[in-house]
Every structure is written in C-alpha cells, then in structure tokens.
Amino acid sequence: MISPAEALAVPLLGALEERLRDRIVARAADVRVSEGEWFLFEGDPAAFWIVIEGEVEVNSDASGRLEQMTTFDPGEFFGEVPLMLGAASFRSCRALSPSRLMRLDRADFHMMVAESSEASAIIAQTVVRRVGLMSEKFVAESVNRAQLIGGQYDTLCHDLRDFLSRNQVPFEWLDSDDESDRSCIPEALLKGDRLPAVVIDAEHTLVQPDLRRLADALGLQTQPDSETYDVVIIGGGPAGLASAVYGGSEGLKTIMIEREAPGGQAGTSSRIENYLGFPGGISGGNLAHRALQQARRFGTEILVTREVAELRPVPGMHDIVLDGNQRIQTRAVVLATGVAWRTLTAKGVMDLIGRGVYFGASATEALETRGHAIFLVGGGNSAGQAAVFFSNYARAVTLLVRRDSLEATMSHYLIEQIRSKKNVHVELGVTVERAIGTSHLEAIVTRDADGAEQTRPAAGLFMFIGADAQTRWLPPGLERDARGYLLTGRSLETWAEKRRPFALETNIPGIFAAGDVRSDSVKRVASGVGEGSMVIAYVHQYLETLTHATA
Ligand SMILES: Cc1cc2nc3c(=O)[nH]c(=O)nc-3n(C[C@H](O)[C@H](O)[C@H](O)COP(=O)(O)OP(=O)(O)OC[C@H]3O[C@@H](n4cnc5c(N)ncnc54)[C@H](O)[C@@H]3O)c2cc1C
C-alpha cells in the first residue's frame, strides 16, 4: 500500500485534507510494473493514475502505428480526461523502468474531486493545459499516414483506397480527375504514367504499388516469422480473427493468414447493429480493427496480402503453401475462409467492377456516391443496411429487388428504416439487364415485372446478391456439401479415426472449419466469432491426442 509519506510527496495528494487523503490512499491500488510492461490499453475502462516511482510512457496508435505521446515521472498523474468525458481510455501505457503507480477507480476519483476544491482546481487546470496541447499537436501534425493520388475510376487506385481504409490506415486521397485536387499533386507525378501513387509518412513515394508492397511500406506483416506453428488460421474475417485472439491468448503458436485485409465480409459492412455489446452498432472495419489489436497483443502473427494457395494434409504436421510457393508447417489448421460475393451475370457488369460497380458497402465507396444517384441490387439485410448507409451520402438510392416483397428476406427493423428515408426508393420485381460505360459505369438497363426495359443513368451499382463458399482449392479428400461448404463434426459421412471427430473438425484430423465456410453455419458475425472462439478449444484437445500418440 502507498505509505502516508509517499502520498504526501505527490503534489495533488498533498493538497488534500489529511482525512480525505488517507481515505483515497486506502482505496487506491498499488500497481507495480516491470520495465517494458504494458499496464493500460486503449479501450480499457478509464482510471486515474499517479506515478509513485519510476517512469511511464503514454502511446497512441491513432495514426496507424504506435507513437510515444508523452512520459510521466513520479508525482505526475494522468487518466483524468477520459474519466471526465465518461469514455474508455484512449491511450496505451507502459513502464520505461520498474515503476509503481497508484490507481483510483472512477467512483473514488469522483469522490476526491467532489470533496476537495483544491484537487478539483488542480485537475481542472491540468485538463485545460492538456486539451490545449492536444489541439496544438492535432493542428501541427497531419494525422494521415499516407497520401493516395489517383483517379476515382482507376481500379488499382480503388483497391489501394480499400486496402488503406480496411487496414485502418489514416490517409488522404487526392483525386487526379478532380481539378481542385490536381493543384495539390506534385507535377512529377502528373507527368507520364505514374499514377496511382502512395506517399507514406510524407517521405517515400510508391508508384503503382501492389498491395503487398504497400503493406510492407506501412510496416504490416507479410512474412511468417517461423516455419512451424501449432495452428494456422486461414482467413481473417470474424471467425478467423476470433480464432487468432483465442489461439494467441491460450498460448498456442498461432498465425492468421489473410489474402486481403482483416475483416472479411464484415469489413465491408457499414454498420453491424446486432452484435452483442454495441447498442449503437459498430462498423465492421472498427470491429475488425479492435480484434486485430487484441490478437496482436496476445502474440498472434497476422499476415496480410498473403493467400494460402494449397493445403497438403500430412498426419500430425500439415503443409501450408502460400502464394509464391512459400511453405510453412502446422499441427492444426482452422479454415475460416468464409464466402465470396456473387456477381450479377448481366452484360457489361464484369468489365466495370471497381469502376462504378462494386460489392459491399464500405466507407471507400461511400465518398464516391456523394450527390449521385446510385442503385443497389438485392433484397437481404446486407442490401438494406447499405441502402440506409448510402442514403447519408448519395442524392438518391434505388434498391432493385427481384422478388415481389422484402418481408421474407429482410429484417423488419431495416424495412422500417428504409421507409423512413426520403431518398431511398425500393423497386420490386426488377432485374438488371446490362451495365453501360467505357471508362466507368454510366447507366444501367433494368427490366420490370411486365418485361419493360428502361435505361437509367447510374453513378454506382452495388451488388448484394449472396455469396458462395470458395473451397475448390482445398484438398479433394475434404468432405463438402453439394454447394461446396465444408462438413464438420456430426455431419461428416467419412471419418477414418477410432476417436469421434471434434465438433468443428473436418474429416481430415487436425483440420477444422469455422464461420460461413462451414456447412449449415448461421451466416452472422456473432456465430462466426462464436465458432472461431470455440474451435481453439477443439484444437487444444486435438493437440493432446497427438501428444498421447507420441508418448
Ligand atoms: C455487407 C454485409 C453486411 C453484413 N451485416 C451483418 C450484420 O449486420 N450482422 C451480422 O451478424 N452479419 C452480417 N453480415 C454477415 C457477416 O459479415 C458474415 O457472416 C461474417 O463476416 C462471416 O465471417 P467469416 O469469418 O466466416 O468469413 P468472411 O467474413 O467471409 O471472411 C473470410 C476471409 O477469408 C479470406 N480468405 C479466403 N480465402 C483465403 C485464402 N485462401 N487465403 C487467405 N485468406 C483467404 C477472405 O479474404 C476473407 O477476408 C454481413 C455481411 C455483409 C457482406
């Protein structure tokens, strides 16, 4: 416990009446941390901290990479700003040398401020000073890590924008097709065929980089650190991310491999409203970002822009072949590869993908729809969510639905939300026949229930017409249902082992499946997260069977 002499040495505590100081000290925690140890993470419940011994540093990763904001010495305090705002901690802290800190919880901090006008005045002055410093820093320094320069309808530029936003890298986009942006673009980049380009940290310019080069330049991991793992998770959607968190936290040597950016389908969702614990909803990108931080904190390696090209089952130690023929080995595999969007088969659609025709409803596309008339195709919840989301950007949103009603395919709350939006129109019994455009989408041709065709100017066409499992690349011996989804546990028809299969195990021992790729799974974020978490328990049990077999 903090001694009276130690408390008196802290100016803030010294300003308290003795009785109040004793009460506060008796209620405070005496936290001891070793050098380099993290004791507070962004998003943790806010608390009030006073440094008693040692030195601590405060970090932020608002710019997409960890940066030291300030340090605190004995006698100094922090944490009061989020406490007063009723928010969670928005910084992470670690000790620079062996340190002791006094931690007060919210209620005790409130008691101290309410009962001591001296403490309240000291804290108020500090808050004013700190908020002033924060705003100076905000104005002086760009929060952007990258500047992307390229045209709106350039497909590589679109992919780069999508990649930056899905990896939560703060960036500025200068549209080379827009006169007002062109004046800010360096002449050298506008000459010749040098766009799109990405300027990282205002220092390095990458001309027409592929996603891997961009990821490397941003310091994202693209190479495995080892050659062997306890578990390799393939796919970084909600199921893969949950497995990554549980695998790392339960001490398994874990790597998650994602071919694009973490988040999967959920990463393209503007707002997930039904995920437990987020009463106001949460964007899929934000959810994925939080999960990533959590997985990394537990030591899981996360590879981005890497595709698993082949899985070669070998009893006890499976072979994983990454793109470029790079190999790693693993005792267990979690297949969390989800599903891939279906594309409209209408003429012209394939040629315009990324240039006005898109899947999903991510923030990347939202900005492009500002002030325009756009069309969405599909009658499910994802189409409904997107219609509500885009209504805040586009001038007019038309939802084209092949069926003659929404009730059977869309949740009631979404139908109500759509009805309340004046700029969203629903057309039932309508199909898209053609997409028209040369460098980008200009119009679509629709056909109504009576067979009448109409050509309509369109700035965007967004497809939400379902998805399919892509499992053809997996070993032929892996059991699938008629639609290619992976069979697991009790649904298996072929199983050669003496023991029974674990619930999420495929017919090849040690290869598990979780989330949307699994046959009969509930195609939702929560169920993907649930299966991704559960599967690690089965991986443990499976690894035990290997240990017994070799004992
Ligand atoms: C627009 C939209 C809105 C949605 N809204 C909601 C909602 O509000 N609530 C809700 O509960 N659900 C919602 N869903 C459904 C939910 O997002 C999915 O059920 C969930 O994402 C499935 O998670 P998953 O991890 O199984 O697969 P996915 O999210 O599909 O992720 C699979 C990942 O695996 C990667 N991958 C595939 N193959 C490979 C390979 N060979 N190598 C490396 N990586 C690979 C893919 O790139 C992808 O990132 C929505 C879906 C969409 C599309």
**Span 437-449, mean pLDDT?**
94
Is 165 a residue whose pLDDT tops 70? yes
Is 339 a residue whose pLDDT tops 70? yes
Q: Cα–Cα distance between 292 and 181 in angstroms, integer?
A: 33
**Span 135-154, mean pLDDT?**
80
**Span 416-445, mean pLDDT?**
95
Is 410 a residue whose pLDDT tops 70? yes
Atom of ligand 1 nearest to the CA of 525: 11
DSSP classification of residue 66: -
Q: Cα–Cα distance between 263 and 449 in angstroms, integer?
A: 37
- The angle at the Cα of 49, spanning 44 to 51, to the nearest 5 degrees, equals 135
Pocket lining: 110 vs ligand 1, CB cutoff 6 Å: no
CB 516 within 8 A of CB 339: yes
Residue 153 pLDDT grade (very low, low, confident, very high; cuts 50, 70, 90): confident
Pocket lining: 384 vs ligand 1, CB cutoff 6 Å: no
CA atoms within a 13 Å half-sphere pointing along the CA-CB vector of 352: 26
Tens digits of residue pLDDT in 194-232: 899 999 988 899 999 999 999 999 999 999 999 999 999
Quote the pLDDT of residue 184.
85
Q: Cα–Cα distance between 232 and 9 in angstroms, integer?
A: 52
Q: Cα–Cα distance between 434 and 37 in angstroms, integer?
A: 59
Work out the percent of the chain whose per-residue pLDDT is above 70: 98
Cα 262 to ligand 1 centroid, rounded to whole Å: 10
Quote the pLDDT of residue 137.
73
Tens digits of residue pLDDT in 6-50: 999 999 999 999 999 999 999 999 999 999 999 998 878 899 999
Q: Is 43 left (phi over 0), alpha (psi -120 to 50) or beta?
A: left
> What residues are paired with 437 via a beta bridge?
441
Cα 399 to ligand 1 centroid, rounded to whole Å: 22
Tens digits of residue pLDDT in 81-106: 999 888 888 888 999 999 999 999 99
Highest mean pLDDT among 267-276, 353-362, 369-378, 427-436: 427-436
**Span 149-166, mean pLDDT?**
89
Quote the pLDDT of residue 21.
94
Paired sense of beta strands 441-447 and 228-234, if any:
unpaired
Cα 336 to ligand 1 centroid, rounded to whole Å: 9
Q: Cα–Cα distance between 240 and 230 in angstroms, integer?
A: 15
Pocket lining: 533 vs ligand 1, CB cutoff 6 Å: no
Quote the pLDDT of residue 90.
84
Q: Cα–Cα distance between 278 and 90 in angstroms, integer?
A: 18
Mean pLDDT lowest among 260-274, 285-299, 344-358, 419-433: 260-274
Work out the percent of the chain whose per-residue pLDDT is above 90: 72
Cα 513 to ligand 1 centroid, rounded to whole Å: 14
Q: Cα–Cα distance between 269 and 360 in angstroms, integer?
A: 7
CB 103 within 8 A of CB 130: no
Quote the pLDDT of residue 365.
77
Atom of ligand 1 nearest to the CA of 532: 25
Give backbone dihedrals phi and psi of 238, rounded to 5 degrees, phi first: -55, -40
Q: Is 434 helix (H, G, I), strand (E, B) or coil?
A: strand
